[in-house]
Amino acid sequence: MQPFTLEFGRFRLELGGSQTCIMGILNATPDSFSDGGKFNTFDTAVRQGLKLVEDGAHILDIGGESSRPFAAPVSEQQELDRVIPVIEALSKQIDIPISIDTVKSGVAKEALNAGAAIINDISAFEKDPAMADLAAQKNVPVVLMHMKGTPETMQVNPGYDDLMLEITTYLSLRADYAMQKGVQKHHIILDPGIGFGKTVAHNLVLINHLEKITALGFPVLMGPSRKSFIQNILSQKEMTPVGADSIKTECGTLAAVAASILNGAHIVRVHDVEKVTAFTHIIDSIRNA
């Protein structure tokens, strides 16, 4: 696995070394696919953020707009109201970087001012072109993700002529665009977008051939946590519905995390940081043996 050092502000992350980087998910939303509504008040969100850090997260990813399939967008003000107070509170209490999960440059700007240090844009700067200028101006790391369509449309019969070629080409072009706008190459992280405009089969191929993404020469983030492809496989195999919060789905997530790491992922974005931290200690030990 190619190692990378991500330095920004007072933070330094070693990616691809002895330890997989864990990004903990904090959804300050009422409607996210797995934990929607659990942490959508200020107190519950802050408590959960502190727990994720205590459990071993290296990055805390905070979002105020659900990107689950068929989710409708929310207003910029709604998103700001959900995330800014939480970021302000947590940034004063934790010593790991906070990532703002948004496609709106206005939200990202206020989040960075409030204490966030990374921009995680699922549209790879396509939704709001001002995002690239903001990232360059603030000199912060960015996560650029592949998504076919929008959250509202992405799971309506997604199709590809050549899955891996199309994803790698897209991510390469978006990275080039970011660099042309002034984002430093060493600040770019690529996310192939598990579950975003992809069928179960697409997701499995993507994990199995992740080396084609890592070959682009950037750190790679994978987010398989509790995704519907895991639930669908388990439901089919066990011939009974398996939900997002099932222990079986958690086990399936660990399997997808393991495969992602062994195939070259530098960062894994997950809900259950405590379990994944213990799990990655073993996977990393095997990977580095």
Q: Which residues are catalytic?
A: 227, 269
d(CA 68, CA 234): 19
Angle at 94 between CA 99 and CA 247, to 5 degrees: 70
With the C-alpha atoms ordered 264, 267, 272, 278, is the resulting torsion angle positive or negative? positive
Residue 44, Cβ neighbours under 10 Å: how many?
Answer: 14
Q: What is the CA radius of gyration of the chain?
A: 17
The three-class DSSP label of residue 259 is helix
The answer to whether the beta carbons of residues 52 and 60 sit under 8 Å apart is yes
* Number of alpha helices (DSSP H) and beta strands (DSSP E) in the chain: 10, 10
Instruction: Indicate the residue type of 41.
Output: T
Residue 212 and residue 168 in contact, taking contact as beta carbons nearer than 8 Å: yes
Q: Are 87 and 50 in contact (CB under 8 A)?
A: no
Q: Which residues contact 82 (CB under 8 A, 6 or more apart)?
A: 28, 29, 40, 64
Three-state SS string over 183-237 comes to CCHHHEEEECCCCCCCCHHHHHHHHHCCHHHHCCCCCEEECCCCCHHHHHHHHHH
Spatial separation of the C-alpha atoms in residues 153 and 37, rounded to whole Å: 23
